[in-house]
Amino acid sequence: MFWWRTEVRPGVWVAFTDAGAGNLALHVGDDPAEVLRRRELLEAEAGLAAGGFQYMNQVHGNAVAFIGDGDEAACPAAPTADAMVSSGRPLAVMVADCVPVVLAGTTSGGQPVLAVAHAGRPGVANGVLPATVDRMRAEGAEDIRAWIGPSICGSCYEVPEGMRTDVAAAVPATWTTTSWGTPGLDLPAGARSQLEARGVAVEYSGPCTLENENLFSYRGNPATGRFAGLVWTSE
């Protein structure tokens, strides 16, 4: 069910699921009842009640939603955003080649500040990760650390020459060449460069989705499902 899972601070957990957890997205033509059942199984495995993880409606932008604990007005069923920040509410981001980034920090008083971000090509180019870190700091977060989940690697992500030029103009670390010699983008490297430029340490980076059968890859199969990056707290 989990590709990778660890307790990153006492009571703070980070994980990335794999294909064994099944598709977790409601927007890919899957049976909604089955998707919700899988989400509940995942939440139970994480020690959470049903509906514990907050998901979002991802649109390849750079908007960051703040998710308030117990505040339904501030916490819609699925905010339209590509990043979320909370003061402890469990968060989820879904991908199938884009870069899932999970972040955690604490306030000076010891309160956790959690975040997830969907860093696809537009998100990396438009600064969704710096915006996420800035929002965490606005909520008092210190000692922010990040974990980059499985995503398509620079050796596999072929793009048109003009697209490579445009994205690399905004984020130079993304410039790369595929393993077969064509223009490519290294989104994980771009994400890492943006996080490190904001003073955030990257503690884990997952493997390539296209090269691993146990992970969903849109490039490998456009009809594929989505796996998740997760962050939550336990008592």
CATH of 2-151+206-233, one of 3.40.50.360, 3.60.140.10, 3.30.572.10, 3.30.70.260: 3.60.140.10
> What does the pLDDT look like over 65-114, one tens digit per residue?
999 865 444 445 789 999 999 999 999 999 999 999 999 999 999 999 99
Tally DSSP H helices, then E strands, for the chain: 5, 12
> What does the pLDDT look like over 166-196, one tens digit per residue?
999 999 999 999 999 999 999 999 999 999 9
Dihedral class, residue 180 (left if φ above 0, else alpha if ψ from -120 to 50, else beta)? alpha
Residues 6+ apart with CB under 8 A from 51: 40, 43
* AA identity, residue 104: A
pLDDT of 69 reads 67
Check pLDDT > 90 for residue 139: yes
- pTM beyond 0.75, yes or no: yes
Domain ranges in the chain? 2-151+206-233
pLDDT of 70 reads 56
Cα dist from 108 to 7, 17, 105, 195, whole Å? 20, 31, 10, 21
How high is the mean pLDDT of the chain? 95
Q: How far is CA 33 from the centre of its chain?
A: 24
From CA 162, how far away is CA 167, in angstroms rounded? 9
The rounded percent of the chain whose pLDDT value lies above 70 is 96
201-205 and 64-67 strand pairing: unpaired
> What does the pLDDT look like over 113-136, one tens digit per residue?
999 999 999 999 999 999 999 999
Q: What single-letter DSSP state applies at residue 47?
A: T
Q: How far is CA 21 from the centre of its chain?
A: 16
